[in-house]
Amino acid sequence: MKNRKILPWFGIISALLSTRKKYWTIRKITFVAILISISITLAIIGATIIPIASIPSYKLSFTGLPVKISGFIFGPVIGFFIGVVADLLSFLFLPSFFHWGYVLISGVNGIVPGLVGIFFFKIINNLVDRRQKIISQKKVINELEFEKTIEFDNPSRLKNIEKSLRQKRISLEKLESKKSTKVLSENQLAKKLTWIYFFSGLLLLMITGSLNLVVIFTVLSREAIEDSFVKSPEILAAITSVGVVTISLYLFFARFKLDPKKYYVIVAIVSFSIILEATQVYFLAYTDNSALKIDFLPSLVQHVIFAPVKIWFNMTIIYFSWRVINYLLHRNQNISL
């Protein structure tokens, strides 16, 4: 009787996995395993060199980099998966203080970069450049065609794939037949996209910065802040604004200096880095208070002070790591692995 109750769940799980066979390719699974291994290795090395790094909030600084890279490249779902698995496995090698808040923060380290990547590279690019939308549609059609070849023994799934193919082909025909009133050259398109990326990134920075200021002046107790070494909410607000202001200036000047394709990636990395740092300082402080019994405000101030440094560090490391992994991931892409 018990087995009968369990069997339907296996059917549901199997159906969910079968719908995304192409999503979990051998190549992708390999890189996921590598990134999880790197994340755990960094945590172990960090704790060996700097013993304080075994404390979860510091350990996340080491394990978080591969997780952010994975989310940025593979999307929010895989990013979240890698973040959670890496944090749980690292706890096996570095048993210290366990709290589900740290696991969730590690997972969010993978979700946010994935969502930001989708926003910039898919939504904005497709809205601005119709040619990019056509390329994306063709890529989806090719993936469905490939999936059709491996689902020949599954009639119901095959029927759904064929239905999706018909819809995608109709959409592609409409896109290709649609006459554009003005066809932009590559340089014009790059210039337009660069400014859109800049203002989109700036908007995200302003929103996160404004939310931080609202929290500091309306949520946190002024008396508690004045009792800390920061002494006033204004000083704390200035510290939190350092990252926003300096990176906003960097994005503006980099707009004129960097190659557009590099600039697009850097804007996305900067955006998710500052979103993560601006929000996680509060979650880390709260979790430190719950798990380690550290006072909330001192913990918050400590995370806030190091946030701008972490943003710049993330931007540098993640960009160059992304270049290497993205190249390896898409190398010989015609080989279906």
Q: Domain boundaries in the chain?
A: 132-178, 184-322
* SS3 track for the chain: CHHHHHHHHHHHHHHHHHCCCCCCCHHHHHHHHHHHHHHHHHHHHHHHHCHHHHCHHHHHHHHHHHHHHHHHHHCHHHHHHHHHHHHHHHHHHCCCCCCHHHHHHHHHHHHHHHHHHHHHHHHHHHHHCHHHHHHHHHHHHHHHHHHHHHCCCCHHHHHHHHHHHHHHHHHHHHHHHCCCCCCCCHHHHHHHHHHHHHHHHHHHHHHHHHHHHHHHHHHCCHHHHHHCCCCCHHHHHHHHHHHHHHHHHHHHHHHHHCCHHHHHHHHHHHHHHHHHHHHHHHHHHHHHHHHCCCCHHHHHHHHHHHHHHHHHHHHHHHHHHHHHHHHHHHCCCCCCC
pLDDT band at 151 (very low <50, low <70, confident <90, very high): low
Q: Is the pLDDT of residue 20 over 80?
A: no
Instruction: State residue 21's pLDDT score.
Output: 46
pLDDT band at 130 (very low <50, low <70, confident <90, very high): low
Q: Is the pLDDT of residue 290 over 80?
A: no
CB 80 within 8 A of CB 72: no
pTM over 0.85: no
pLDDT tens-digit map of 310-331? 778 878 888 888 888 877 776 6
Q: How far apart are CA 164 and CA 144, in angstroms?
A: 8
Q: Is the pLDDT of residue 336 over 50?
A: no
Q: Which of 64, 36, 31, 29 is nearest to 272 (CA)?
A: 64
Of 125-139, 207-221, 254-268, least confident by mean pLDDT is 125-139
pLDDT band at 233 (very low <50, low <70, confident <90, very high): confident
Q: Is the pLDDT of residue 150 over 50?
A: yes
By the 10 Å C-beta count (0-12 exposed, 13-18 middle, 19+ buried), 127 is classed as: exposed
pLDDT tens-digit map of 168-224? 787 777 766 765 545 556 677 778 888 888 998 888 888 888 887 887 788 777 776
Q: At what angle do helices 56-74 and 26-49 cross, to 10 degrees?
A: 160
CB 280 within 8 A of CB 311: no
Q: How far apart are CA 24 and CA 207, in angstroms?
A: 35
pLDDT band at 24 (very low <50, low <70, confident <90, very high): low
The sign one gets for the Cα dihedral 225, 230, 231, 235 is negative
pLDDT band at 10 (very low <50, low <70, confident <90, very high): very low
What's the mean pLDDT when you consider all of the chain?
76
